[in-house]
Amino acid sequence: MTHYISAQFLDITTIQELIHSDTKLALSESAMNKIVACRTYLDKRLENQSTPIYGINTGFGSLCNVKISNEHLSKLQENLVMSHACGTGDRVPLEIIKLMLLLKVQSLSYGHSGVQLETVQRLIDFYNHDILPVVFEQGSLGASGDLAPLAHLSLPLLGKGSVYYKGEEVAAETVLKEFNWSPIRLMAKEGLALLNGTQFMSAYGVYSLLKAYKLSYFSDLFAAISLEGFDGRIEPFSDLIHLIRPHKGQLKTAKRIQEFVDGSELISQEKKHVQDPYSFRCVPQVHGASKDTLDFVRKTFETEINSVTDNPNIFIEQDVIISGGNFHGQPLALGLDYLAIAVAELGNISERRTFQLVSGLRELPAFLVNNPGLNSGFMIPQYTAASIVSQNKQYATPASVDSIVSSNGQEDHVSMGANAATKALKVIDNVERVLAIELLNASQALVFRAPLKSSEFIETFLEMYRAEVPFVDEDRELHIAIGDTLSFLHYVSVEKEVLFE
């Protein structure tokens, strides 16, 4: 199966299908024509123009006023890639590196970047053969683009740097020889086109957003299971309540909870209590606000990944080359910070539900275990969840309000979107762990409600879950149960029509 890169809108549902399949990339005929036309225009322009054009025949950053002679233009671009490969820290996950390749190809395909067709095709070859450049998390200020990470992404084009190939890290030069590929000889402008851009931030954002949508669904499902375990009330999920405050996410959450518990004996039994705590009663309002945030962030990132984000930009029809700032990551930085905050809240309220479940309330045993005292039961998983949500409060401090001067003052305001990107994923991974702990507790609580049953949907889900993580009758190593729960969640798939409705 082949996905053709073209001007057709690339959305996150398509990306989800690509990263979960063996689909290959190819350039459409129109994309190839645009790339070739732009390169031809630039070459002719350089033949007939002696005045400086930023990044094409000048130095970079604060060296923008240094004119470079035509015979050194290729060397200039190669030096740019090598000198900017200054990444450090942890290595970027393979799935995100592959997304970076996809998004860089998409951006270059619009014909405003002046790259050779051969260069774009080699990036596609890397993608199709799972040749993934080694990229590091740290080094980008989020303007002018993701310079250091994209330099590492580009080094293997030159036969330099390292790549992951067939489960090993090897020298890029070795892999090029295996495929009988010659290193790319970069032409004028190409190094800057490869390094300017927001593909590091965008790849992290898309990957995080896809995971966040799945966690949003799990948040609703586990809240419903907790509600059943806590013998909660259904009235706060009534349509009447939400139609008079009709936020889209709130309405969607209330409807989903109603569907999850439909037919439950537990939810329909007479209650001894008049009200539930906020962590149950306000699930539509809290989860719903996070859903609305995901939709906002999705719009931001879908706009970005269908954009040209290098600099300068070439406009053939208007016969102009303009140096601007499309590489600036401010829209992404704000979106990533907002995403981190919204998902962190799903973890915050989840931990509170876990706390209520282990508190010995509503005829549940203390810490959800037989013989409490002899057994500590689920006392400490709640501690673990509490420590994680507290860490998330620190991670959720916005990166986008920060800036620092670089390049001798030429680049005097930056987005810090790369830092926002890496810590947003940390928040999302943390919330997955918190939700796993809630599921562990909620499924345990429901056992103490027997012989009454929950809905058919919830009982079927829990039957699959308990096959992997059985009821805890007496104390055992619960970190194993948490790990097994996480493995179970990774295994569970949710249809895209449900995730993105």
Catalytic residues: 54
Per DSSP (E only), the strands in 167-271 are 168-171
d(CA 25, CA 294): 28
119 and 107 in contact (C-beta within 8 Å)?
Answer: no
Q: Reduced to 3 states, what is the DSSP secondary structure of residue 165?
A: strand
d(CA 163, CA 153): 9
Q: Count the Cβ atoms, other than its own, within 10 Å of residue 87.
A: 23
136 and 152 in contact (C-beta within 8 Å)?
Answer: yes
What are the structure tokens assigned to 232, written together? 């909660």
Q: Which amino acid is at 29?
A: E
Residues 6+ apart with CB under 8 A from 227: 257, 261, 267, 276, 280, 283
435 and 215 in contact (C-beta within 8 Å)?
Answer: yes
Q: Reduced to 3 states, what is the DSSP secondary structure of residue 319?
A: coil
Q: Count the Cβ atoms, other than its own, within 10 Å of residue 312.
A: 22
Using CB atoms within 10 A of its CB, is residue 107 exposed (0-12), middle (13-18) or buried (19+)? buried
Q: Count the Cβ atoms, other than its own, within 10 Å of residue 47.
A: 8
d(CA 477, CA 343): 28
What are the structure tokens assigned to 224, written together? 């419903």
304 and 198 in contact (C-beta within 8 Å)?
Answer: yes
Maximum Cα–Cα distance across the chain: 87
